[in-house]
Amino acid sequence: MKTRTKKEINYGTVQGNPRQAVLLSYFAGIIDGEGCLRINKMKSQNLQHVHAKAKNDRYAAFICVGMTNKQIIQMLTYTLGGSIREERILNRRSIWRWTVSGRQIVTNALESVFPYLVVKKPQAELLFELINNWKTPYRRSDGVSLEELQRREDIYLKMCKLNAVGAAATTEREGTREGEATVWTNGKPLEENSKQFSRQLRIVGQ
């Protein structure tokens, strides 16, 4: 039997596997506790340098998790898609940030973890509402209809309200930037359990 390397393992395609369900529920817990589901809004006047004929404000679904543990961010990317970037601040540990944007990839990621979400489930439902009812103009030059713009704006405002309530209910941690997190398992920092978690992920990929 050929031994697959880590790059060859597709963690997101093990169907009907109880271990895969555990993995997805674990990632849902990370998104619940440390992630951000939001709608980005760009004013049309701020888009002129990108698209000279931009007529409407733009709304984009967005998922983000920032952690000091690169391994977990890599696993999120392998499983759910998206991209990784490293952020550095002088005299501090690097922050590895996983981001997902674009209607199709956000939909795919959310569909995988949605059954296991608890805290962020209302935000996920709003993202689905935004994406699933998306209406595009027949001609780009016509711009989006007023009804569609109002629909997007209403969902955007609901999302802002949800995230504002969540932020107010969270105790601010000293010295922690938005999105930065250290996940704890079994009473220990995740870094101390990384070898065991790596073995579990390899099993899932088999």
Q: Which long-range contacts does 110-117 make (Cβ < 8 Å, 24+ apart)?
A: 110/63, 112/12, 112/24, 112/79, 112/80, 113/24, 113/25, 113/27, 113/28, 113/31, 113/80, 114/28, 115/28, 116/24, 116/25, 116/28, 116/29, 117/28, 117/31, 117/32
| pTM score of the predicted model | 0.68
* Domains along the chain with CATH numbers: 12-205 (3.10.28.10)
Q: For 47-76, write each residue's pLDDT tens digit.
A: 555 444 557 788 999 999 999 999 999 999
pLDDT at residue 6 in the model: 38
Q: What is the pLDDT of residue 109?
A: 96
Q: Does an H or E element contain 99, and which?
A: strand 95-101
Other C-beta atoms closer than 10 Å to the C-beta of 195 total 9
